[in-house]
Structure 1
Amino acid sequence: MAGDPAWRPIGGGLAIAVRLTPRGGRDALDGVAELSDGRRVVAARVRAVPESGAANAALVALVAAALKVPKRDVELVAGATSRVKTLHVAGDPAALAEMLRKATETA
């Protein structure tokens, strides 16, 4: 989706809005979804439970693997206890956006 507002270039990387489903049966990016308020997010699910940061850690690992970056380059910047989160991924924004677009299209 061209110009998708689920992610945007910011501060030496990419900011990604994510709606996380913990205990989702598998670790996967499920494409781009629209919330009831009209915001677009990357839908993600992880097997981990939402206790002691396990689901957040699994999300960071999932996004790092999908974008082929080290986990240290993916940071949870907002929404630690919410289903809707914001991640910052360090790197070339254009390259990261293209990889994320491909990862969410195949979902």
Structure 2
Amino acid sequence: MRLPVRVTPKGGRDGLDGWALDAEDRPYLKVRVSAVAAEGAANAALLAFLAKTLKRPKSALRIVSGESARVKMVEVEGATEADFDLAFGVRP
């Protein structure tokens, strides 16, 4: 299952800022991480945060697009929409 995520690096803490809608009314998850966006540190922090929140091993998550962009598509092996809703709240 794929999860669209907008990441805010150097956000002061690792945490969830909830769901939002893009210009085409597609939901995406807003996450902030304390790591800086250099040498993949923010991406690693994002995957670690999502893995912990979803109670999955880090190896089950990977960024499939947007590696150097704020908006990323993260693939989570074995996850369902219900898993995302339970971990992050119901999508708008």
TM-score, with structure 2 as normaliser: 0.88
Amino acid at match of 1:50: A
Of residues 84, 87, 91, the one that matches 1:100 is 84
State whether residues 15 and 88 of structure 1, in contact with CA within 8 Å, keep that contact through their aligned partners in structure 2: yes
In the TM superposition, what is the alpha-carbon distance from 1:17 to its structure 2 partner? Answer: 0.3
Residue 84 of structure 1 aligns with which residue?
71
TM-score, with structure 1 as normaliser: 0.77
Matches within 5 A, 1:1-107: 14-91=1-78, 93-94=79-80, 97-105=81-89
In the TM superposition, what is the alpha-carbon distance from 1:39 to its structure 2 partner? Answer: 2.8
In the TM superposition, what is the alpha-carbon distance from 1:25 to its structure 2 partner? Answer: 1.0
Distance in 1 separating the partners of 2:86 and 2:16: 11
In the TM superposition, what is the alpha-carbon distance from 1:35 to its structure 2 partner? Answer: 2.3
In the TM superposition, what is the alpha-carbon distance from 1:37 to its structure 2 partner? Answer: 4.2
State whether residues 23 and 45 of structure 1, in contact with CA within 8 Å, keep that contact through their aligned partners in structure 2: yes
Q: How large is the RMSD of aligned CA atoms in angstroms?
A: 1.5
Number of residue equivalences = 90
Q: Which runs of 5+ in 1 are unaligned?
A: 1-13
The alignment partner of 1:99 has SS state of helix
The alignment partner of 1:85 has SS state of strand
In the TM superposition, what is the alpha-carbon distance from 1:64 to its structure 2 partner? Answer: 0.4
Percent of aligned positions that are identical: 42
